[in-house]
Amino acid sequence: MITELFTYDSQEVINFTLKIALAVLSGLLIGLEREYKGKNAGLKTNTLVAVGACVYVLISLQFYGEEYADITRVLSQVVTGMGFLGAGVILQKEKEDKIKGLTTAATLWCSGGAGCLAATAMFVELGILTVVVVVINIVFGYVDDKIEGEK
């Protein structure tokens, strides 16, 4: 009986490890640009957000097919949690009357989505999302800097 608690299916462990590793990679790549720009939510934060979202979705998938279990509720809670976390990085500078942190908050939200994609084995979509978020942050960050410099 007790040995059943410690019996693991090696394929499940490999799948879990692969999904967590891809969430880590995606979070690192997304967070790299934020870190390079000196933002508060950089490598570690985006990586942990992606991993956390992945873990919670993986836990919810354990209840697939169970009576009275709605595994999609966890996804909605990840979205809500990302909104709450993102709100924490948005600050308003009193003297400049300018809001800061919106891009970082949106990037954290995307990192949470990346973790959810990794957990559901949507690996191609995860790769596409990661590239799109990084490209948007780099390209539009450059464009934004140019526009700000012209003012």
- SS3 sequence of the chain: CHHHHCCCCHHHHHHHHHHHHHHHHHHHHHHHHHHHCCCCCCHHHHHHHHHHHHHHHHHHHCCCCCCCCCCHHHHHHHHHHHHHHHHHHCEEECCCCEEECHHHHHHHHHHHHHHHHHHCCCHHHHHHHHHHHHHHHHHHHHHHHHHHHHC
Q: What is the pLDDT of residue 77?
A: 86
Which residues form the domain of 64?
2-150
Residues 101, 109 contacting (CB under 8 angstroms): no
64 pLDDT more than 80: yes
Residues 111, 46 contacting (CB under 8 angstroms): yes
Indicate the pTM of the whole model.
Answer: 0.85
pLDDT, greater one: 67 or 130: 130
Q: What is the pLDDT of residue 3?
A: 63
Domain count, the chain: 1
Q: What is the mean pLDDT of residues 48-57?
A: 96
Lowest mean pLDDT across 37-46, 55-64, 75-84, 90-99: 90-99
Integer Cα distance of 111 and 121 in angstroms: 15
Q: Could you count the other beta carbons within 10 Å of the beta carbon of residue 90? A: 14
The confidence band for 28, taking pLDDT boundaries of 50, 70 and 90, is very high
Per-chain mean pLDDT for the chain: 87
Identify any residues that bridge with 78 across adjacent strands, giving them in sequence order.
Answer: none
Integer Cα distance of 49 and 81 in angstroms: 10
Residue 31: both structure tokens together: 């967070």
The confidence band for 127, taking pLDDT boundaries of 50, 70 and 90, is very high
